[in-house]
Amino acid sequence: MHPMLNIAVKAARRAGQIINRASLDLDLVQVAKKQHNDFVTEVDRASEAAIIDTLRTAYPDHAILAEESGHSENESEYQWIIDPLDGTTNFIHGFPYYCVSIALTHKGIVTQAVVYDPTRNDLFTASRGRGAYLNDRRIRVGRRDRLADSLIGTGFPFREKDGIARYTDLFADMTRACAGLRRPGAAALDLANVAAGRMDGFFEQGLSAWDVAAGALLVTEAGGLIGNYTGDSDFLHVGEIVAGNPKVYAQMVPILSKYTHVNAA
């Protein structure tokens, strides 16, 4: 395992321990609201602090972009992109679908990825050019070649309820086109599950870099494709993403492209 990936795994497992301990007594977890339907807990913050501490100890010069604490000031060609608890709303309710997501970019390209699901003790890892793994076993995207037979993951816009009408149109279009649409509530874990072939595709809008950076590398290293709704490879900072095995991806893009926000202004 690449030494930088090794450190990321160590950080993710430390965070997972904090999350698992807190999950045993959810009534004690302090919850704050960032904005409508957007929650942050002391667990998010403690998890992030543990991750940053582990990374800083090993690589004090690296830059960091983390969901709760924002950008670090360091100028470096290496940047860690961290979501300390993706699926906070699920976590608060005791719904066991959430994860820790850690990615490393080098000169803007994601080179290392860890997504850790502490409820199942599932560790997804990828190094650029070396394949994707779940608990040290190689994973591949699913083999289904028809969207009509495929299980597709998504997420709803949760902060801004205004976009919901347009989204329900898209939801209807995709529901008609695929075998089943799922909305589990943690994009990083959804992408990891696409990489593992547990879902055949995924799409969502309104996402941030920390939601998708690690999962995106897992998908591509597992033989899948990833892009924005128009099928372009520019997805990390544009707020919309589609992922899937190559055949399913190619069938999702024509449905999604008319809902794109890219270059809409």
Who's near 74: CB < 8 A, 6+ residues apart? Answer: 61, 62, 63, 64
At 36 the pLDDT is 66
Give the residue ranges of the chain where pLDDT is below 70: 35-38, 158-162, 263-265
Identify the bridge partners of residue 204 per DSSP, sorted by sequence position. Answer: 241
At 75 the pLDDT is 85
Of 92, 135, 96, the C-alpha closest to 114 is: 135
Query: Looking at the chain, which runs of residues are DSSP E strands?
Result: 31-35, 38-41, 63-66, 70-71, 78-86, 99-106, 109-117, 122-127, 132-134, 137-139, 151-154, 180-182, 201-205, 225-227, 240-244
At 39 the pLDDT is 72
Whole-number Å distance between alpha carbons of 102 and 183:
22
Write out the two tokens for 29.
């977890």
Write out the two tokens for 217.
């590398």
At 265 the pLDDT is 43
Question: CB neighbours (10 Å) of residue 159?
Answer: 12
At 159 the pLDDT is 62
The pairing of strands 109-117 and 99-106 is antiparallel
Write out the two tokens for 43.
């667990």
Domains of the chain: residue spans and CATH: 3-139 (3.30.540.10), 147-259 (3.40.190.80)
At 69 the pLDDT is 86
Whole-number Å distance between alpha carbons of 264 and 262:
5
DSSP code for 259: G
| Average pLDDT of the chain, as a whole number | 92
For residue 88, give the 3-state DSSP assignment: helix
- Residue 170 in contact with residue 177, Cβ under 8 Å? no
Identify the bridge partners of residue 80 per DSSP, sorted by sequence position. Answer: 64, 104
